[in-house]
Every structure is written in structure tokens, then in C-alpha cells.
């Protein structure tokens, strides 16, 4: 039997389902945040009951600043596995020539252009709290 490509409707449904965040993909993000020295400064889920993306704001201070590269690497690998729109991370650096404070904002999945800016949560809760549901 000859190889048949997917019909157009199957491709459309596949693309529709791929845009949604799964519980597994969100748990991967939470696990990576548990391993990170960063503090969670903001988290926004986009898409309501059928979440399509999440925006995470992180901050690094002092000796933790170089570790942001590990979180960005995880972010790139996550998108390679789960798909989504890869928008460049937004990075704000405070301190020259050596950064004292670094803020990074990462979009996972399909966030779109309707969410902008890094928003601080009062008290900057530790990132591990996200995985524990606090």
C-alpha cells in the first residue's frame, strides 16, 4: 500500500490540539523551576480552561545570575519537545559591569501578544512553591 499523507482535516486537528498545554508539560516547567536558584516574580496562564501558554518571570541575584543560562536552555528544549511560539526571552539587567540583579521573562507555548511586561508578585515567592501548588 502506498504511503498516504494525513488529510487536511487531520493536520488541522493535530495543530489545534498541539497548541494546548498538557498537565505533563506544565509539570516539566514546575520541576525545572524547582531546580533553579531563581525566584518566581510572576506567572500568567493564557487561554483560560484550555490553556495555550504560560509566561514566567524570574529574578536572579548575586552568584545565581550566571544560572539563568540553564533556565533558558531548558526553555529552548521544552519548545523543541512541546512546540509553541518561540519568542525571544526578555532580559533586564541591573548593575554594570557586573549584574547585581537579572530579570528574565519566558513564554512557554502560545502566549500571544496580549500579555506584556514583567509583573512582580509581592514577596517574590520561591520558584519551588509553583510546583507545590502554593
**Is the residue at 120 inside a domain?**
yes
Per-block average pLDDT, block size 10, for the chain (134 residues)? 63 73 91 93 88 91 86 93 86 78 90 56 43 42
**Is the residue at 97 inside a domain?**
yes
Confidence at residue 112, expressed as pLDDT on a 0 to 100 scale: 75
**Residue 9, all three cell numbers:** 482535516
**Residue 8, all three cell numbers:** 487536511
**Is the residue at 101 inside a domain?**
yes
Confidence at residue 38, expressed as pLDDT on a 0 to 100 scale: 93
Confidence at residue 127, expressed as pLDDT on a 0 to 100 scale: 43
**Is the residue at 104 inside a domain?**
yes
**Residue 62, all three cell numbers:** 548575586
Backbone φ and ψ for 68, nearest 5 degrees, come out as: -60, -30
According to DSSP, the β-strands at 53-61 and 90-94 are unpaired
Identify the CATH number of the domain in which residue 39 sits.
3.30.70
**Residue 51, all three cell numbers:** 490553556
Confidence at residue 3, expressed as pLDDT on a 0 to 100 scale: 52
Closest CA to 26 of 112, 118, 108: 108
Number of structural domains found in the chain: 1
Dist CA 85 CA 58 (whole Å): 19
**Is the residue at 114 inside a domain?**
yes
CB atoms within 10 A of CB 110: 19
Domain that holds residue 126: 22-131
**Is the residue at 123 inside a domain?**
yes
Cβ–Cβ < 8 Å for 57, 40: yes
Helices (H), the chain: 8-18, 23-35, 68-82, 128-131
**Residue 46, all three cell numbers:** 493564557
**Is the residue at 5 inside a domain?**
no
**Is the residue at 4 inside a domain?**
no
Amino acid at each position: 500500500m502506498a504511503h498516504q499523507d494525513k488529510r487536511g482535516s487531520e493536520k488541522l486537528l493535530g495543530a489545534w490540539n498541539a497548541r494546548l498545554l498538557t498537565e505533563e508539560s506544565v509539570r516539566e516547567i514546575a520541576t525545572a523551576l524547582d531546580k533553579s536558584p531563581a525566584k518566581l516574580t510572576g506567572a500568567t496562564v493564557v487561554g483560560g480552561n484550555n490553556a495555550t501558554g504560560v509566561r514566567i518571570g524570574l529574578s536572579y541575584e548575586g552568584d545565581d545570575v550566571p544560572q539563568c543560562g540553564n533556565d533558558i536552555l531548558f526553555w529552548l528544549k521544552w519548545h523543541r519537545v512541546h512546540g509553541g511560539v518561540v519568542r525571544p526571552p526578555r532580559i533586564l539587567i541591573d548593575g554594570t559591569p557586573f549584574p547585581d540583579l537579572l530579570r528574565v521573562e519566558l513564554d512557554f507555548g502560545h502566549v500571544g501578544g496580549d500579555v506584556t511586561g514583567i509583573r512582580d508578585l509581592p514577596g517574590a515567592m520561591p520558584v519551588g512553591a509553583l510546583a507545590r501548588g502554593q
